[in-house]
Structure 1
Amino acid sequence: MNKKSLYVLEYDKIMQRLAEYTVTEMGHALVKKLKPRTEFIQIQTELDKTKDGADILRLKGGIPVPNIVSVAPHLKRLAIGATLNGKELAQIGKVLRFANESQRFFRALADEHVELNYLYGLNDELATLPELDRRLRISLESDGYVTDDASSLLRSLRRQIANTESAIREKLNELTRGSAAKYLSGTNVTIRNDRYVIPVRAEHRAKFGGIVHDQSSSGQTYFVEPRVVVELNDRLRQEIVAQNEEIRRILRELSELVAPYTAEIEQNAKIIGEFDLINAKAKYAKELKATEPKLSRENDIYLRQVWHPLLEPKKAVKNDLILGKDYQAMVITGPNTGGKTITLKTLGLIQMMGQAGLFIPAFENSRIGIFKEIFADIGDEQSIEQNLSTFSSHMTNIVKILRQVDKRSLVLFDELGAGTDPQEGAALAIAILDELGSKGAYVLATTHYPELKTYGFERPQTINASMEFNEETLRPTYRLLIGIPGQSNAFNISARLGLEAHIITAARDLTAKDSQDLNEMIADLVKKRRQAEEDAIELEHDLTEARKVHTELTTMYERFSAERERLLEDAKKQANELVTQAQSKADEIIKDLRELQTKAVSDVKENQLIDAKAKLNALEQPQALQKNRILRKAKKEQTLQPNDDVMVTSYGQRGVLLKKVDAHTWEVQLGILKMKLDESELEKIKVAPKKAKRAGTVLRSASKSHVSPRLDLRGKRYEEALTEVDRYIDAAILAGYPSVTIVHGKGTGALRQGITQYLNTNRAVKRFNFAAPNNGGDGATVVYFK
């Protein structure tokens, strides 16, 4: 894009402000090279980068780019085999460290699912050299100082130097503080020619022997290295030389380590510069309150409430600028100082900013075009040296523009045809506009000529515009009125100045009313066009949001369907497995019951039958099957409620539900007993209505029960025996026994003691005692119930 237009439209001032936000030499250099681009893909890529930078600035405060100088000169020196100094190597190390930090930064952004258009890929191009980075970090500080960790020899030499310096100072302090202090002109120990010396009065310079290294300007003081520290100073000098030699060796070694990676480091430095530029563009956009423009391949420009970027946003008047769809040329008329020129510059500068990948100072959803060239003829460029008048200088510039212009050009003319005879100037302006129109160029021109108002009506793809004028204050408002040519406002101004009304009326009658009606019609059409643009933007926003929601819902529905199918398959598989396991366990229990039936009734213990039945009842419906529609209905019928008749499966007895104690426990009335039982032990039953029983009828006779009056616990474990006693006592009470015998054997007496403790706490037990000697003695206990 031509330099003259960049200068005239003050593009360089935008770049100066942008450069203030860079922190690296590479980023600053990229700002200097930043020019408007002319291809759609290039411009969109640059805008995507700025969008990424703005998102990161909003979420994380920006990309963490450190203050880094350019390392290009260092890399060139390495390429020819030179050894870098500590500061240069430290600056290279800073570039390497940023690569690692950047990887961690963008990895964290990815983990947070932050969407970026471009910067993830740019970050992937950074080369990480962890070993080289670690070595430089250990060996050098940020200012280039070689650390003690660079080598064990360097650490040792520095320790020796410190010890030697300490010894020298100790000896010299003895001289400055002892009896010899009277020969000195001061007590400060100083250094001359890299050797420690003391200030001695001129007349006593031979008192300490040694070497005189310097003399004061007055000649009254000599700086003497006393004989007692000459040897120590010699040693210190040798140690310093050895230290410097070791430092040179370390720097040479580090330079040799860095040399093979100059290409990677150079690439990293370029990427750091680009990150810095992106950061700067994002920060500048935030300062301007700028927004991301949309690109129009058809050069359909619509700038919503745009303002000039070099003006204060709060004070600048914002205007809508429309060009390119219904008309490719706009002629702005109106008085001086009304804002015509700033409007002209605003369009040109906004286009340059957008094509350079910068956000623009306009409301969201603004559109910019893509121009190969932007030509500007603005301002008074008369030259005494070249003997050019205002008209000549403008015409010279216009001639150059006409030779280069094409359909991808935007041309900005300020006061087209000015500086010559008005009639000839107007004719030239019309001819120039016609020529530009024939070439398909996009034009924004300002003028004072009334003839150009008619031009805007008569020529296709051309529209008039003007800057608004407040008739009450007689001052411009700087608002652009598209479709309305500028008016002189002579009638209104004359009336305010006191001209009689009949004169103004006569003057109005002499003017054509058709032109004013046409102005109003065009203004109405432009207003409707703007409203249509706003409606289209709002509808596009709503459509985008709707599509986004639709996409999300479609994705979620697909995931839901897939998950539902998977869960159904898993449930079917699990249900089949549970049914198979239940059938297998039921078969085993039935087999055990059949074996018990084959035995004599007296040989089968009641608790064995109870345990077997409890096992069968434990094979309850698996949870996976509970979702089956058929089983769900059956389960609903089995839902327990207070006052329901139930079968206590663990005891084989009927009872009545009293109340629900907790989520899975009920209080059940079993005859004269109230027991707390788990739901798994209860089975809802339907009891047919019965006639009232005679008084004294027991719940269940002992003859019909299968509970033995004798419980044998010999050979049982302690816990198992007590559990069985608890169940047995309940079953015996339900069977109506007045007393039972519990055989526990003698043994160690632990089981007998445990049973005794249990019987003492059972409220249903009236009393108990050991059996008769011929019936087991103290190896059995007889229990009597209330």
Structure 2
Amino acid sequence: MLYPVNIGDKLGFTEVKRLLRSYCLSPMGGERVDKMQFIARADLLGKLLRQTWEFRQILQDDAPFPASDYLDIRPLLHKIKPENAFLSEEEVFHLMLVLKTVFQAIRYMNEREGRYPALEQLFEKAQIEKEILSLISRVIDEKGEIRPDASQALSGIFQQIHKSELESRKRLDSIFRQAIKEGWIADGNLTIRQGRMVIPVQAEFKRKIKGYIHDESATGQTVFIEPAEVFDLNNRVRDLEFEKRREITRILIELTGQLKPFTFQLESYQQLLTNVDFIRAKALLAIRLQAELPKLSDEPVMRLVNARHPLLWLSHKESGQDVEPLTLTIEEEERILVLSGPNAGGKSVCLKTVGLLQLMLQSGMLVPASEFSEMGIFHKILADIGDDQSIESDLSTYSAHLSKMKEFISQAGERTLVLIDEFGTGTDPQFGGPLAEAVLEELNARKVRGVITTHYSNLKLFAGNTPGLVNASMLFDSKGLNPLYRLEMGKPGSSYAFEIAEKIGLPGKVLKTAREKAGAGQNYLDKLLIELEREKKELLDQGRELQRQQQRLDQLVSENTALKQHFEENRKKLLKEAKEEARGIISGANKLVENTISEIRQSGADKEQTREARRKLKETGGALTKKEEEKPVAAAKSAIVPGNWVKLPGSEAKGEVISVSRGNAVIAIGNLRTVAKLGQLEKVAGSKPGNAGSRASYTVYQQSENMKFNHEADLRGMRGEEALAELEKLMDRALMLGVGKLKVIHGKGDGILRKLIRNYLSEYPQVAKLEDEHPDRGGDGITYVHFS
């Protein structure tokens, strides 16, 4: 149940339906939009939502779905039913086009069996009835014209017409050439008068050619004659044309009779095409609104995450503005939101967003909110929005509100969503406030769900002390006195009446008098709310900053842990290699000594040979000593470039510089890469790259990390500073791993975020090229980053 009857106009659903209708290909689809129903059955609603979601996947990720010739054949199906009725060539052709579209759609889904289960339910009873198309194709060709061979009689008539026309033209051409030779012809060629081919003859020679005069020129100088020799032939052609028309009518009557048994099948095809058109339109609008399929609950709950009012979002998008997303929860413990805050702060937009998204969802449409949102099913939506005073019904604004409150109380239940804007207004606040509080208490007792906006302090206090109710407010910049359009749960908001009046320029004397009349208690409460809101905003900003710092800290800790693990593994490996090398050196030295002793003995202690053996032994020992004592020395302090070896700050670890960018260096340490500031690095000499084994190990490591690395960044919805921070982290990681390409999704919008991101990326010397995605898969809403 929806109340009042114009709730669609109040919430903006009528405008959403108008947008949806514009995406329909056929009048049947538009009629389906007009007949959209409020659905309270969980199974039916779930199926319709999944069908729309699957069609959105088709439009975005799959081959094009058949989208031509969605024609309305309902009048044709009614025309088939009477006896001896027949369809014209054009009507049969329309029928053929619709059949081809339906059969293409059926084949499309059959080829993707199991991929779109909800849509398959729509097609499960649809079969391709080839006989219908075969009957039509024997009569109508691909251009929508009757086939000359549709019957044997028609084929003969076509041949006779062709033969007669050919003979007529031949005789006419002969007479025309003779007339030209005799000089009887006026300026011009053969022409047509009253559907007959005639010769333009000078008036003074009209007796020279026997025939029928069809017309004359305005001056009377030229007459148009059909020669007698051709007249009978042309009459024969006309008689054949009449005969052809009669035969075509007979063929069409016969064809219509053959199609009559398939009327029910044709009606089912028409219904299938209507459903497809309707679902396709919902999917297209979902793409435009960036709408998602939230988790559907059978309970009357609402957990919206980053929800947006679709009409407001489209309007702001066209003007290049952002819409602050809405996140709120309505559930058993917090059933009714009592929303307060300044005028023009977004309270009514918040309320209408809740109502409109719920109405869209329960009409089978996807909603512009995060896919992590959860939305339940309500049996009734009751709204009191705007001024419904009526001169005809003798209702004032307040009387109209009271009439609705009476309806709300009589209709409300646990599965009712109540939306009341500016609750209690329209009469003396001294009486309107208590009456509104009493109505709210009754609605809460009936466990309704809803959103209520108000400026009344008694309702804010009542919500703060009553289970089931929860205060909420729209944040306001108390310094700049500008609305932030950001919803905060758990506390009421100030109306900022005096502050806004002061900003507008109301005289200070008037403001002072107003504050005195408001009373100390009310002023203190309002001041307290303003201070709480200011502190809440500061805490919120600090929390976001701490969250960013915590994310950075977690990343550094993770990198440090990986670095330590790498150092430990390399230390053991280096020790093992050093021991093996030492054993090899000792073994070689022992062999050298033994060989030297053997040579001395064999030479009989000859002095020259003994001296030569000692010299070789000394040279080899000196070389070993020099290799053992060789130490890295600090290189002269100069610019660090790729290929230099450097020592990391605070450790003895050394690595090779892979690349330098924006004051940072990417350093390879064995199998690991890290990033450090250039000013913190110390250039060293004597270090060499690892052996082939370590390079192979690094290749395996790099392949492993590349497999885990996410080459795609989705920055849609982020502010510029936040998007660049995320992009910087991704670029650092990409440069460390040496990836070849990144995919950055930033959306189209008005192009501000895209321009900011591309300007930032162009500053990296490692970036070789930036290019757009293919237009069918996102176009300039996605940027591919290619590295050199």
* TM interval, short-chain normalised: 0.5 to 0.7
Q: Secondary structure at the match of 1:34?
A: coil
Asked whether the equivalents of residues 416 and 449 of structure 2 are also in contact (C-alpha less than 8 Å), the reply is yes
Which letter maps to 2:524?
Answer: T
Asked whether the equivalents of residues 69 and 91 of structure 1 are also in contact (C-alpha less than 8 Å), the reply is yes
1:537-616 maps to which residues of 2 (within 5 A)? none
The yes-or-no answer on 1:348 pairing with 2:355 is yes
* Cα distance in 2 for residues equivalent to 1:185 and 1:417: 93
* Cα distance in 2 for residues equivalent to 1:513 and 1:191: 92
Asked whether the equivalents of residues 69 and 101 of structure 2 are also in contact (C-alpha less than 8 Å), the reply is no
Q: Which moved more, 1:359-368 or 1:487-496?
A: 487-496
Deviation string, structure 1 residues 401-441 (Cα, Å, up to 9, x no partner): 43333332211111122121111121221122122223332
Which letter maps to 1:58?
Answer: Q
* Residue matched to 2:381: 374
Deviation string, structure 1 residues 503-559 (Cα, Å, up to 9, x no partner): 99x9799726997599789989x99xx99xxxxxxxxxxxxxxxxxxxxxxxxxxxx
Q: Secondary structure at the match of 1:158?
A: helix
TM-fit CA distance, 1:241:
1.7
Give the % identical residues.
34
Asked whether the equivalents of residues 465 and 480 of structure 1 are also in contact (C-alpha less than 8 Å), the reply is yes
* Cα distance in 1 for residues equivalent to 2:219 and 2:474: 80
The yes-or-no answer on 1:285 pairing with 2:286 is yes
* Cα distance in 1 for residues equivalent to 2:473 and 2:522: 24
Asked whether the equivalents of residues 78 and 259 of structure 1 are also in contact (C-alpha less than 8 Å), the reply is yes
Distance change in 2, residues 1:186/1:452 (3 Å): farther
TM-fit CA distance, 1:320:
0.5
1:443-522 maps to which residues of 2 (within 5 A)? 443-489=450-496, 511=524
Deviation string, structure 1 residues 547-581 (Cα, Å, up to 9, x no partner): xxxxxxxxxxxxxxxxxxxxxxxxxxxxxxxxxxx
* Cα distance in 2 for residues equivalent to 1:382 and 1:127: 56
* Residue matched to 1:98: 101
TM-fit CA distance, 1:161:
2.3
Asked whether the equivalents of residues 11 and 356 of structure 2 are also in contact (C-alpha less than 8 Å), the reply is yes
* Cα distance in 2 for residues equivalent to 1:206 and 1:451: 109
* Residue matched to 1:693: none
Q: Secondary structure at the match of 2:453?
A: strand
Which letter maps to 1:228?
Answer: E
Distance change in 2, residues 1:494/1:391 (3 Å): closer
* Cα distance in 2 for residues equivalent to 1:347 and 1:195: 72
TM-fit CA distance, 1:499:
8.6
TM-fit CA distance, 1:66:
2.5
Deviation string, structure 1 residues 705-760 (Cα, Å, up to 9, x no partner): xxxxxxxxxxxxxxxxxxxxxxxxxxxxxxxxxxxxxxxxxxxxxxxxxxxxxxxx
* Residue matched to 2:369: 362
TM-fit CA distance, 1:71:
1.2
Gaps of 5+ in 1: 532-786
* Residue matched to 1:399: 406
* Cα distance in 2 for residues equivalent to 1:255 and 1:5: 47
* Cα distance in 2 for residues equivalent to 1:205 and 1:403: 96
Distance change in 2, residues 1:41/1:194 (3 Å): same
Q: Secondary structure at the match of 2:117?
A: coil
Deviation string, structure 1 residues 213-258 (Cα, Å, up to 9, x no partner): 4566776665432212111101211221222122112212211221
* Residue matched to 1:87: 90
* Residue matched to 2:310: 309
Distance change in 2, residues 1:224/1:487 (3 Å): same
Q: Secondary structure at the match of 1:511?
A: helix
Which letter maps to 2:92?
Answer: L
* Residue matched to 1:431: 438
Distance change in 2, residues 1:467/1:175 (3 Å): farther
1:692-771 maps to which residues of 2 (within 5 A)? none
RMSD of Structure 2 on Structure 1 (CA): 3.7
* Cα distance in 1 for residues equivalent to 2:522 and 2:385: 38
Distance change in 2, residues 1:438/1:191 (3 Å): farther
* Cα distance in 2 for residues equivalent to 1:43 and 1:333: 33
Distance change in 2, residues 1:149/1:163 (3 Å): same
Distance change in 2, residues 1:157/1:466 (3 Å): same
Which letter maps to 1:117?
Answer: P
* Cα distance in 2 for residues equivalent to 1:116 and 1:461: 41
TM-fit CA distance, 1:98:
3.0
Distance change in 2, residues 1:332/1:341 (3 Å): same
* Cα distance in 1 for residues equivalent to 2:32 and 2:523: 62
TM-fit CA distance, 1:469:
0.9
Deviation string, structure 1 residues 357-406 (Cα, Å, up to 9, x no partner): 11100011211221222122212233444443322333333333433333
* Residue matched to 1:548: none
Asked whether the equivalents of residues 407 and 441 of structure 1 are also in contact (C-alpha less than 8 Å), the reply is yes
Aligned pair partner of 2:20 in 18, 21, 26: 18
Q: Secondary structure at the match of 1:477?
A: strand
* Cα distance in 2 for residues equivalent to 1:520 and 1:223: 95
* Residue matched to 2:188: 187
* Residue matched to 2:677: none
* Residue matched to 2:70: 68
* Cα distance in 2 for residues equivalent to 1:463 and 1:307: 22
Asked whether the equivalents of residues 341 and 347 of structure 2 are also in contact (C-alpha less than 8 Å), the reply is yes
The yes-or-no answer on 1:147 pairing with 2:185 is no
Gaps of 5+ in 2: 545-788
* Cα distance in 1 for residues equivalent to 2:215 and 2:335: 84
* Residue matched to 2:59: 57
* Residue matched to 1:723: none
Deviation string, structure 1 residues 97-143 (Cα, Å, up to 9, x no partner): 23432332122212xxx522222232231132212212323421456
* Residue matched to 1:226: 227
Q: Secondary structure at the match of 1:211?
A: strand
* Cα distance in 2 for residues equivalent to 1:372 and 1:204: 91
* Cα distance in 2 for residues equivalent to 1:98 and 1:154: 30
TM-fit CA distance, 1:149:
4.2
Asked whether the equivalents of residues 127 and 265 of structure 1 are also in contact (C-alpha less than 8 Å), the reply is no
Aligned pair partner of 1:107 in 95, 105, 110: 110
The yes-or-no answer on 1:257 pairing with 2:258 is yes
Q: Secondary structure at the match of 1:80?
A: coil
1:669-680 maps to which residues of 2 (within 5 A)? none
* Cα distance in 1 for residues equivalent to 2:216 and 2:427: 82
* Cα distance in 2 for residues equivalent to 1:187 and 1:423: 96
State the number of aligned residues. Answer: 525
* Cα distance in 2 for residues equivalent to 1:231 and 1:409: 84
Q: Secondary structure at the match of 2:281?
A: helix
Asked whether the equivalents of residues 293 and 371 of structure 2 are also in contact (C-alpha less than 8 Å), the reply is yes
Distance change in 2, residues 1:216/1:410 (3 Å): farther
Which letter maps to 2:375?
Answer: I
* Residue matched to 2:343: 336
* Cα distance in 1 for residues equivalent to 2:508 and 2:147: 90
* Residue matched to 2:330: 323
Distance change in 2, residues 1:15/1:206 (3 Å): farther
The yes-or-no answer on 1:123 pairing with 2:123 is yes
Which letter maps to 1:224?
Answer: I
Asked whether the equivalents of residues 485 and 519 of structure 1 are also in contact (C-alpha less than 8 Å), the reply is no
Normalising to structure 1: TM-score of the pair?
Answer: 0.61
* Cα distance in 1 for residues equivalent to 2:484 and 2:69: 45
* Cα distance in 1 for residues equivalent to 2:526 and 2:188: 104
Distance change in 2, residues 1:299/1:238 (3 Å): same
The yes-or-no answer on 1:43 pairing with 2:45 is yes
* Residue matched to 1:745: none
* Residue matched to 1:768: none
TM-fit CA distance, 1:455:
1.7
Asked whether the equivalents of residues 161 and 239 of structure 1 are also in contact (C-alpha less than 8 Å), the reply is yes
Asked whether the equivalents of residues 420 and 451 of structure 2 are also in contact (C-alpha less than 8 Å), the reply is yes
* Cα distance in 1 for residues equivalent to 2:526 and 2:344: 28
Asked whether the equivalents of residues 87 and 252 of structure 2 are also in contact (C-alpha less than 8 Å), the reply is yes
Asked whether the equivalents of residues 455 and 495 of structure 2 are also in contact (C-alpha less than 8 Å), the reply is no
* Cα distance in 2 for residues equivalent to 1:401 and 1:490: 31
Deviation string, structure 1 residues 568-616 (Cα, Å, up to 9, x no partner): xxxxxxxxxxxxxxxxxxxxxxxxxxxxxxxxxxxxxxxxxxxxxxxxx
* Cα distance in 2 for residues equivalent to 1:387 and 1:215: 76
Distance change in 2, residues 1:295/1:518 (3 Å): farther
Asked whether the equivalents of residues 481 and 499 of structure 2 are also in contact (C-alpha less than 8 Å), the reply is no
Asked whether the equivalents of residues 70 and 101 of structure 2 are also in contact (C-alpha less than 8 Å), the reply is no
Distance change in 2, residues 1:383/1:204 (3 Å): farther
